[in-house]
A and B are shown apart, each in its own frame.
Chain A
């Protein structure tokens, strides 16, 4: 089972890279929101590959510090993404506040760079979930883009936050490594589902090849 989930973890990294590259197709001709989301996917793919290389992929060193790049990079890019979708520029101020909070924490306790910032991650994810709810609510009346992705962000970040909160809570309950690894495996499966929703969004709404194919068949 462990080998299967390790393979699933490896596959999720490949899929993450593939999804990022896929969104680069049509990068220039699509909307600002699309371009920001493509950059977000590329950033997450780079973090995944980097963490894998430093960790079990090659160096076998601790890669926990990548979590800071992950949650801060994700927060910054998805806030800009939703500021564009929701047309609320004041959301940028939350980026500044979050970066100040993260910088303050690291200056106060430099060693915390090598640990999870559970509170920071939870706050960042909760705000991102709130954006997705606001956008999905808005989409009921105004048909907008990235509804499938927003559903994915809502369900994945909410689940992931609960998993990591539980993961840290169970640390105090002396539960075994195996139990914690089950939570990590569950997170990998949910991440795969999130990536699949992102791929569905692209194939349904941004697949430029579909247009080419349609034109081709019309000509034929």
Chain B
């Protein structure tokens, strides 16, 4: 079974995530992403996908970090976001619904602690 492209070893992943936690104590460590958000943005057939960081304010005034996905197409030397128009529909969509860790974590994952 061949290894897919762009993978890293578990050890490398543990080192990198540990470094993030050391440099950003108490901050968000990961995001849980619904499959629908990934397949939705891929269905737009982008050259790449860009993930923006955002903060969502809830009804009760609390806030949480989010990842916001947009497709990106190569135009010249930059990847241009596939954005929907303010009104109407051009087939482009922006996807969110991600949930941050904490609180949505895997307590047993070696990438989490």
Contacts and interface: CB of A to CB of B under 8 A. Distances in A.
A181 B56 contact: no
B102 A67 contact: no
A9 B60 contact: yes
Contacts of A63: 58-59
B55 A177 contact: yes
B23 interface: no
Interface string A34-76: 0000000000000000010001100111111011001000000
Contacts of B60: 9, 51, 184, 187-188
Interface of A is mostly: helix
Contacts of B99: 56, 60
Interface string B15-33: 0000000000010000000
B63 interface: yes
Nearest to A168: B61
Interface residues of B, number: 18
Interface in B48-68: 55-65
B103 A3 contact: yes
B61 A66 contact: no
Interface string A1-13: 0110010010000
Contact of A66 (B59, B63, B64, B98): B59
Nearest to B66: A60
B97 interface: yes
Contact of B61 (A59, A60, A62, A187): A187
B59 A163 contact: no
A180 B56 contact: no
A56 B99 CA distance: 8
Given A116-B57, A177-B55, A185-B62, 17 more contacts: A2-B103, A9-B60, A51-B60, A55-B58, A55-B59, A59-B97, A60-B98, A70-B59, A163-B61, A164-B61, A167-B61, A177-B63, A180-B62, A181-B62, A184-B62, A184-B63, A187-B61
25 contacts: A9-B60, A9-B62, A51-B58, A55-B58, A56-B64, A60-B97, A60-B98, A60-B99, A61-B97, A62-B56, A62-B58, A63-B59, A64-B57, A64-B58, A66-B59, A67-B59, A70-B59, A167-B61, A177-B55, A177-B63, A180-B62, A180-B63, A183-B61, A184-B60, A184-B61
Interface of A: 2-3, 6, 9, 51, 55-56, 59-64, 66-67, 70, 116, 163-164, 167, 177-178, 180-181, 183-185, 187-188
